[in-house]
Amino acid sequence: MTEGIILKGYSGFYYVLSGEIVYDCALRGRHKLTKETFLPGDRVRISTDGSDRATIEEVFPRRNRLVRPPVANVSLIVVVLSQSNPKPDLPLLDRILVLAEEEQIRPLIVWSKVDVGEPEQAAILEAQYKNTGYRFLKTSAQTGEGLDELRRELVGETTVFAGQSGVGKTSIMNRFLPEVDLKTGSVGEKGRGRHTTRHIELFPFVGGYLADTPGFNRLYLPGMDPARLQYCFPEFSPHLEDCRFASCLHRREPDCRVKEAVEDGLVGRRRYENYLYLLQELEEKEKTYR
């Protein structure tokens, strides 16, 4: 018996890394019957017969799981925003950040393509995130700028690269894993550059793992209590206790300290507007399911 991590699954079989060896694994009978799916990132116990084939005997409890991409035990989400083309989609970024907060995954925001973009525009957008505590890094897969700094952030982490299609997620990963040579696309070209990345696989890297994600331009929040949304905006937290009403959702209630913080420039206005938008979306979802 030995322990390992699922790197990739394919029609009922799994590649499991244990030590230096990648085992080709089938499931033990009872796991085949339960419809539960195992994901890249799952920690497992396997039995081997001395060859490179093995059987998954047991799956350990997960710390978390993402639906998109389907990966378990994620500790870091690198959200990639292009400083050039495609234009940064802040509502999408905020959705990913809310998801990360909900799943207790540390987010790191990476500006890509800084060799071609406009730093002034990036700085304006970044100002929206003051007092969030989120870190921003600048990178270019073209020139290599910022990649050493990014690599240091990835040590020991199970990292998912997320963000719009065409921002350069796969290009960054290829700089880190040149031997893998993942397929990249080009922005704007018909049929290419859009969702070039399809398969989910974890790649060992600096003591942790990296997963690429097919770009998405739409992301729905999971069903969550609308009252929890405020806690997914870290820059709100110093103000939440001081609103007049304990039940304040920071919308039209009087004496709302969050709204004051927006007026005082302590909370980014676009962040606040995205909060209101997501709040409404969650409330509508609640109505439909009730």
Ligand X SMILES: Nc1nc2c(ncn2[C@@H]2O[C@H](COP(=O)(O)OP(=O)(O)OP(=O)(O)O)[C@@H](O)[C@H]2O)c(=O)[nH]1
Min dist CB 114 to ligand X, Å, is 7
Tell me which residues touch Zn ion (CB under 5 A): 243, 248, 250, 256, 258
Which residue from 55, 170, 174, 230 is in contact with Mg ion, where contact means CB under 5 A? 170
Structure tokens, 289: 């399911």
Residue type at position 130: K
What's the closest the beta carbon of residue 95 comes to Mg ion, in angstroms? Answer: 19
Q: Kindly identify the residues of this chain, within the stretch 101-130, that bind ligand X according to CB under 6 A.
A: 112-113, 115-116
How near is the Cβ of 23 to Zn ion at its closest, in Å? 53
Task: Report if residue 16 touches ligand X, rule: CB under 6 A.
Answer: no
HEC sequence for 225-288: CHHHHHHHCHHHCCCHHHCCCCCCCCCCCCCCHHHHHHHCCCCCHHHHHHHHHHHHHHHHHHHH
Of 180, 220, 215, 179, nearest to 196 by C-alpha is: 215
Picked from Zn ion, Mg ion, ligand X, none, the partner binding residue 271 (CB below 5 to 8 A depending on kind) is: none
Binding of Mg ion at residue 197 (CB under 5 A)?
yes
Supply the minimum distance, in Å, between the C-beta of residue 196 and Mg ion.
5
Q: Which is nearer to ligand X, 73 or 165 (CB)?
A: 165
Whether the bond into 254 is cis, omega within 30 of 0: no
In 244-261, which positions are buried (b, 16+ CB within 10 angstroms) versus exposed (e)? eeeebbbeeeeebbbbeb
Residues forming the site for ligand X (CB under 6 A): 112-113, 115-116, 140-142, 165-171, 184-187, 193-197, 214-215
